[in-house]
Each structure stands twice: as C-alpha cells, then as structure tokens.
Amino acid sequence: MENKKGKIPAVFFDRDGTLNVDTGYLHEQEKLQWMPGAREAVKYVNDRGYLAIVVTNQSGVARGMFGEEAVKELHGYMNEELAGVGAHIDAFYYCPHHPEAVVPEYRQECSCRKPKSGLIEQACRDFDIDMEKSLMVGDSPRDVTCGEGAGIRGVLYEGGSLLELLKQYI
C-alpha cells in the first residue's frame, strides 16, 4: 500500500496489554498469552501492506529483573508464534530506561520512554513511513499520547478483539 511518494503506512502496537496479556514485566516465553484477536490483527495489518511495529517500555531491564537479551528473545518468539498464522512484526522498538532504575546505565530521562515519542520517531527514521495513514494502538492513554506526539493518530484499545478494533481504522 505505497502511496505516490513511496511511503508505507504503519500500525505501531504497544506490547503488554495490547498484543499480549500484561502479566507484569513479561520476559518469559512460556508466560506469553495473546490478547483476543491480536495475532489476526497483525496478519490483517500485514495483508493490507502496512508495517507492523511494536513500541514498548521495558523498565524491567532498568529494574534489574531481566536483561535486554530476554526482551529480544521474547520478541523473536512472538514472531515465531505469529508465523503460525502467516503474520509478522516488521520491527520491535523498546525502551529499557527508567528515571529510578536500579541498574545505573539505564537510569535516565530519555526520549524513548512512552508517553514520549522517541521510539516512533526512530522507526520513522528507519523506515519511510506515511505518517498520515499510520496509527498507534495501545491500552493506555500514554500510548495515545505517544502516537499523537509523533504526529500520528492514537487509538485506545480497551479490550475485546484487537482485529475488530483495527477494522474500524484500516
């Protein structure tokens, strides 16, 4: 679904509480539980020519609960699971920082921690994204604020089928 300028629209997904059940600092594959219609929603996005991009705060890294490698491994596993329904996430962006981190190298105010829009802005630098047609979908007002701060429409997911929600916008 490229437009005349060659730009591609994207759906930015929050992770915990939007794509998967928020079990609190999820980093273990065996604890991954998909939200209703989440895998189908990603496939729907893929099939319509949109990029599917995850933007997620992962302060468990800053809190010393797990390392960045665990985040990356979980994201790889999520894509393995999505492949089972013919879907995929094009890119995962995460913020490991927190201003009160116990791990010193992650203790900082940053532009990538939602509700700030740094993760979306980085994705837009990495991909030629059509901002006007893109969406940020998340289960928290901070996700909506993040999208709007980057100049894209924010959509609040309040439960139910994620696929049915997306069909209202794409």
Rounded CA gap, 58 and 27, in Å? 9
* Residues making up the chain, counted from first to last: 170
HSE of 115, CA atoms in CB hemisphere, 13 A: 10
Rounded CA gap, 91 and 22, in Å? 20
- Within 10 Å of residue 111's Cβ, how many Cβ atoms? 13
Please say if 14 is a catalytic residue. yes
Please say if 139 is a catalytic residue. no
From the candidates 14, 90, 130, 139, which is the catalytic residue? 14
From the candidates 16, 90, 139, 143, which is the catalytic residue? 16
Q: Which residues are catalytic?
A: 14, 16
